[in-house]
Amino acid sequence: MLNVVFNALYQFQVSFSFLLLSAIGLAVIFGMMGVINLAHGEFMMLGAYITTIAATQGVPLVLAIVIAALGVAAFGAIVEILVVRRLYGRLLDSVAATWAVGLILSQGMLILTGPSMQGVSSPFGSFTVGQTSYSWYRVLLGVISLVLLALLYLLFMNTKFGLRARATIQDPAIARALGVDTPRMYTMTFALGSALAGLAGGLFALTATIVPFFGTNYIVEAFVTVIVGGANALLGTPIAAALLGAINAALGTKYGLYIGRVGLLLTTIIIIRVLPDGISGLLERWRMRPSGARSRK
Partner 1 sequence: MRRGASLLKAENVAFVIFLAYLVVYPSTTDEFSIGNTAYFMAISLMALSLALIWGKAGILSFGQTAFFGVGGYLYGIYTLNVIGSDATWIGILVGVLAGGLVAAVLGYFMFFGGVNDVFVGLTTLALTLVLQTFMAQTAGPEWSVGEARLNGYNGMYVPQISFGDMALYGKPLYFLYFAIMIGVYVLLRWLAGSRWGYGLLALQENRPRTETFGYNVRLMQVQVFALAGGIAALSGVLYASWGSYIDPSSMGLTAAITPVIYVAIGGRRSLTAAMISSMILLQLSQSLASSAPEYALVIFGLLALLAVLFVPEGFMVALFNVIDRWLFRRSVRDTSQGSGEVVPGRGELA
Binding of partner 1 at residue 258 (CB under 8 A)?
yes
Among 157, 270, 287, 295, indicate the residue that binds partner 1 (CB under 8 A): 270
Binding of partner 1 at residue 63 (CB under 8 A)?
no
Q: Smallest gap, in angstroms, from Cβ of residue 111 to partner 1? A: 5
Q: Smallest gap, in angstroms, from Cβ of residue 2 to partner 1? A: 32
Phi and psi at 289, nearest 5°, equal -60, -50
Binding of partner 1 at residue 244 (CB under 8 A)?
no
Q: Smallest gap, in angstroms, from Cβ of residue 283 to partner 1? A: 17
Q: Smallest gap, in angstroms, from Cβ of residue 33 to partner 1? A: 9
Selection from 196, 256, 277 nearest residue 20 by Cα: 196
The residue range among 43-51, 180-188, 195-203, 268-276 that interacts with partner 1, by the rule CB under 8 A, is 268-276
* Residue 127 to residues 136, 137, 244, 279, Cα–Cα distance (Å): 7, 10, 26, 36
Which one, 30 or 190, has the nearer CB to partner 1?
Answer: 30
Q: Taking a C-beta distance cutoff of 8 angstroms, is the pair 37, 43 a contact?
A: yes
CA distance 12 to 27: 21
Which one, 4 or 270, has the nearer CB to partner 1?
Answer: 270
CA distance 73 to 68: 8
Selection from 225, 265, 230 nearest residue 243 by Cα: 225
Q: Taking a C-beta distance cutoff of 8 angstroms, is the pair 218, 19 a contact?
A: no
Q: Smallest gap, in angstroms, from Cβ of residue 138 to partner 1? A: 21
Outline where DSSP puts E strands in the chain.
126-129, 132-135
Among 59, 78, 110, 155, indicate the residue that binds partner 1 (CB under 8 A): 110
Among 5, 62, 63, 108, indicate the residue that binds partner 1 (CB under 8 A): 108
How far from chain centre, in Å, is Cα 167? 22
Among 276, 285, 287, 295, indicate the residue that binds partner 1 (CB under 8 A): 276
Q: Smallest gap, in angstroms, from Cβ of residue 101 to partner 1? A: 7
Binding of partner 1 at residue 173 (CB under 8 A)?
no
Q: What is the 3-state secondary structure (H, E, C) of 225-293?
A: HHHHHCCCCCCHHHHHHHHHHHHHHHHHHHHCHHHHHHHHHHHHHHHHHHCCCHHHHHHHHHHHCCCHH
Q: Smallest gap, in angstroms, from Cβ of residue 271 to partner 1? A: 9
Residues that bind partner 1 (CB under 8 A): 30, 34-36, 38, 83, 86-93, 95-97, 99-101, 103-104, 107-108, 110-111, 213, 216, 219-220, 223-224, 226-227, 256-258, 261-262, 264-265, 268-270, 272-276
